[in-house]
Amino acid sequence: MIKNFEFKWLTGKYHQKGGEGSGYHGHAGRPGSIGGSAPSSGGTTSSSGSVRSVVVSPLAVDDRQRIRKEVSSNHEDVTRNKKKLEHPEKWSEDAMKDLRQKVVVTEATNLTLRTILDIDSIKEDIVRNRKKLEQPERWSKEGLSSIESRISSLEEQLVSANRDLISSVNKAGGSNIEQTLARLLGSKHFQIES
């Protein structure tokens, strides 16, 4: 498992395969849920065009700062729009619908950006702990075991965070996230696959 995981981790590429209602290894799965393996036909994208993979290069300090600033600004927008929604008498039905949609997309965008920061932090923590394993003479047997357990736990967190990332990108809309990431990071630092 670690060899396969290391390849995926080193390339920074994680996939969520299968389409709506797909299960593991091509069986039926839960209707209306996305996840599991690709259907037995071997395809990796569904006809709905939802995002299947998000790849983000390691973040530089200024990238992290730009993302945190964007999250803060988005949070202020959501708060402002939620306050507007508290007074439906001031808005037309279409305006209310647009405001609700904007809140949903902005919250999903923020979740995506926070998840990208989390993934970057988890990757850094994995690298730090792997470097500790390069000098086993410095650690007791219990210490080495603890480091290995920590790495395993971090790898599980990373897989889970990547699932969350794909889910939030799909909720916010792949093109919205693509535009936001292009503005914050530049298009060379990420890739979104449908």
The tens digit of pLDDT for each residue in 89-120 reads 998 999 999 999 999 989 988 998 999 999 99
Residue 79 lies in a domain: yes
pLDDT of residue 172: 82
Residue 70 lies in a domain: yes
Residue 9 lies in a domain: no
How far is it, in rounded angstroms, from Cα 178 to Cα 192?
A: 7
How far is it, in rounded angstroms, from Cα 141 to Cα 133?
A: 11
The tens digit of pLDDT for each residue in 148-193 reads 999 999 999 999 998 888 888 888 877 778 888 888 887 777 888 7
Cβ pair 44, 6 in contact under 8 A: no
Residue 189 lies in a domain: yes
Give the residue numbers spanning the domain of 68.
Answer: 56-193
pLDDT of residue 102: 92
Q: How many domains does the chain have?
A: 1
* Helix or strand (DSSP H, E) at 53: strand 53-56
Single pTM value for the model: 0.68
pLDDT of residue 22: 37
The DSSP output letter for 56 is E
Residue 133 lies in a domain: yes
